[in-house]
A and B are shown apart, each in its own frame.
Chain A
Amino acid sequence: MATFNKFNQFVEDVAEKVHNLGADALTIALSNVAPVATNSVLANITEIAYTNLSARAVTISSSVQTSGTYKLTCADLVLTASGAVATFRYVVLYNDTPTSPADPLIGWYDYGSGVTLANLETFTVDFDGTNGVLTIA
């Protein structure tokens, strides 16, 4: 289980209505350089080239609160290589909708080792369908 690591700026962005987690275009970015908590926008992330990789858009399944606890649930994202893909290790979740700040970051995961997708290989970001991607209480 890859641990969710939050970007510090995310909590402020949530409070200052930067995110609409129920409607915005959440997206996955891949990096082979470890992000840090003080990163705030996608421009802070060293992304790999996404050549030969399928779309990275995340589908939001639900965005609701229950008894005062908000939960964001997303569908698993399957990235499929149509050829060799650059090595990556870190999976970053960000919001592709806002323009100011542009592409604010939400959190990231560490796969634990570098992954080099070959043709037809897949990388699945297995979001927790029960507990969700994140909760805010």
Chain B
Amino acid sequence: MAIAFRAAGAKATDGTSPFSITPDLPAGMSANDIVILVVATESTGTATLSADGSVTPWTAITGSPVSVTGGKKLYVWWGRWASGTTGPTITADTNMIIGATAAWSGCDTGASVINNQETGSESTSDTSLSFATTISTTVNNCMVLLISNDDTDSNTAQHGSQANTNLGSIAERLDVNTNAGTPGGGFQITEGTLATAGAIGTWTTTLATASAKAYLTLALQPPGAQAYTMPAGLGTFTETGIVANTLFGRKVISNQVSFIETGQTVNTLFNRLVAASQGVYTETGISTNLLFRHIIVSEQGSFIETGIAASLFRGFPMTAALGSFTETGQSADLLFKHLIAASQGSFTESGIATNLLFKHLIGAAQGSFIETGLAAILFRGFPMAASQGSFVFSGSNPNLLLKRLIVAAFGGYTESGQIAGLLFGRRVVINQGAFVLTGISSGLFRGLKIVSANGAFVLTGQSLTLIYIVLITKTEPFNFSIVRTKSFTPVMSRESKLSTSIRREISRGSEVIRVKGYPVTMTREHAIISSLKP
């Protein structure tokens, strides 16, 4: 913004002692307008700025006041307007005083508003003013003012035809005079622009009335080059996390924020836990092998376990979580004397046949367990203990030892082994049934009973030697009778009355009684013990 003339105030004069004026400030001013205060008084007197008024401070231009012999003394101050309308008060001590203000806008707002100045005077009283200045401006676009006075006692402006070939836009801004005092006087302010810093040149002015002249030129400088500064704030960009890959068997540990986990698929390793936050986490890793006797630990969800089959070792429990776990492994061997412990369900055990050892138990849970093991050997004289059922006992023929018992539960037991020797003098104890005693001839000892259950017992062996009874030991032959019962033909002692159908052959010491033609040897020391009554 170039320097421009704002306005000028009216002149103030006083020709009566005490000489004092308060010139008005120009109208329409704006902040930082530069106000030029000009006062003229007698060159022999002194003017004093006694009150600043609204503009403060006032600064005298260097070289001011300028006095000229036979003329008036010229005072020039500058001040920066901010606000207010009160003009300064200036007093003088001699003859008269005249003062006025003028203002320019667009000047430098710093303290160096007066770029340069120079004063001069002409004591010769004439109507021409020529002020050949010797100074130059230092900045472009200064406004150069010429301020000069006169000693003409008149209320009419005295100046005109201002010129300066170094300047442009020469314009008179103030030209006042007064006849107050003896004589009065006045002054002018003329401006000219100096676009390029340089010499101010020579001012010329024509006065209406010849006068001595005092003058001053000054250059108002424009504002210095404006320097705008914009402190640039910091821009911050935050990256909220790279995608985290979930490594095998590792946990993801992160503060709760907008962390996104979209990493690679998590493989579930053997016997490792999968630790992941709740969400859309997908677990599709490699199949999990179910190790022997190890637990599968997994979060509830869509986890699918299709690993290799779990081998069920012999004699070891299989521990698996409830679910769709499928066990199709190799067959489990049922070891001797070991238990099969398995959870209830569709578990199928079809292993090798179970051997039923001698005198050992088979322990198995109730169910479809099939036991088809080898036959159990029934040793002679040993009891066979087995659960009721379809047990098949088809082993080697059990030998029924002489004088030993066969103890067996009731049922379809078949004993077809070799003929059991019925020892002499021993009891045959056997349950009723189709038992066939066809063994070697049993010695029926004399005096001993044949104890047999009533039934179809058939004694078909070789001829039985009936030994003399030992129930009654006698040294002499004694009488006994043989009573016929059923199909058995009794044998009579020699003293007994024999039936007619039996031929009596009795001799002392050794008599033979024939029963149905079969000889029976009887001694006197023995009797026949049978179902016969003696």
- Min CB–CB distance B110 → chain A (angstroms): 15
Assess whether A135 is interfacial by the CB under 8 Å rule: yes
Report A103-137 residues with CB < 8 Å from chain B CB. Answer: 106-107, 109, 111, 115, 117-128, 131-137
Given A120-B225, A122-B225: A134 in contact with B237 (beta carbons within 8 A):
yes
Q: In the complex, how many angstroms separate the beta carbon of B225 from the nearest chain A beta carbon?
A: 4
Residue in contact with B230 in the complex, picked from A5, A120, A124, A136, CB distance below 8 Å: A124
Q: Mark A55-67, 1 if CB is under 8 A from B, else 0.
A: 0000000000000
Beyond A120-B225, A121-B225, A122-B225, whether A137 also contacts B230 by CB under 8 A is no
Closest residue of B by beta carbon distance from A109: B232
Convert B201-240 into 0s and 1s, putting 1 for each residue whose CB lies closer than 8 angstroms to a CB of A.
0000000000000000000000001111111111111110
Interface 1/0s, chain B 1-38, versus A by CB < 8 A? 10000000000000000000000000000000000000
CB-CB under 8 A for A4 and B232, given A121-B227, A124-B227: yes
The residues of A that contact B231 with a CB separation of less than 8 Å are 1-2, 126, 128
Q: Are A124 and B235 interface neighbours, CB within 8 A? A: no
Per the CB 8 Å criterion, the residue count for chain B at the interface is 16
For chain B, what secondary structure do more than half of its interface residues adopt (helix, strand, loop), or is it mixed?
strand
* Contact present for B234 and A137 (CB under 8 Å): no
Q: Among residues 1 to 40 in chain A, which have CB atoms less than 8 Å away from a CB atom of chain B?
A: 1-6, 10-11, 14
- Assuming the A-B contacts A120-B225, A121-B225, are A126 and B230 also in contact, with contact meaning beta carbons closer than 8 angstroms in the complex? yes
Option from B1, B225, B233 in Cβ contact (under 8 Å) with A2: B233
Which residue in chain A gives the minimum CB-CB distance to B141?
A119
- Least CB distance from B45 to A in Å reads 45
Q: How far is the CA of A136 from the CA of B232 in the complex (A)?
A: 17
Over the window 230-266 of chain B, the binary record of Cβ atoms lying under 8 Å from chain A Cβ atoms (1 yes, 0 no) is: 1111111111000000000000000000000000000
C-alpha gap A137/B240 in the complex (Å): 9
Q: For the complex, is A86 an interface residue (Cβ under 8 Å from B)?
A: no
Q: Give chain A nearest CB distance to B355 CB in angstroms.
A: 72
Q: Which of A107, A123, A132, A135 contacts B228 (CB 8 A)?
A: A123
Give Cα distance in the complex from A2 to B233, angstroms: 5
Which B residues have a C-beta under 8 Å from some C-beta of A? 1, 225-239
Give A contacts to B, CB under 8 Å.
1-6, 10-11, 14, 91, 106-107, 109, 111, 115, 117-128, 131-137
What are 30 sample pairs from A and B whose C-beta atoms fall under 8 A apart?
A: A1-B233, A2-B230, A2-B231, A2-B233, A4-B234, A4-B235, A5-B235, A6-B237, A109-B230, A109-B233, A111-B230, A119-B225, A121-B225, A121-B226, A121-B228, A122-B225, A122-B226, A122-B228, A124-B228, A126-B232, A128-B233, A131-B234, A132-B234, A133-B235, A134-B235, A135-B234, A135-B236, A135-B237, A136-B237, A136-B238
A109-B230, A118-B225 known, 7 other contacts, Cβ within 8 Å: A2-B232, A4-B232, A122-B228, A124-B228, A133-B234, A137-B236, A137-B238
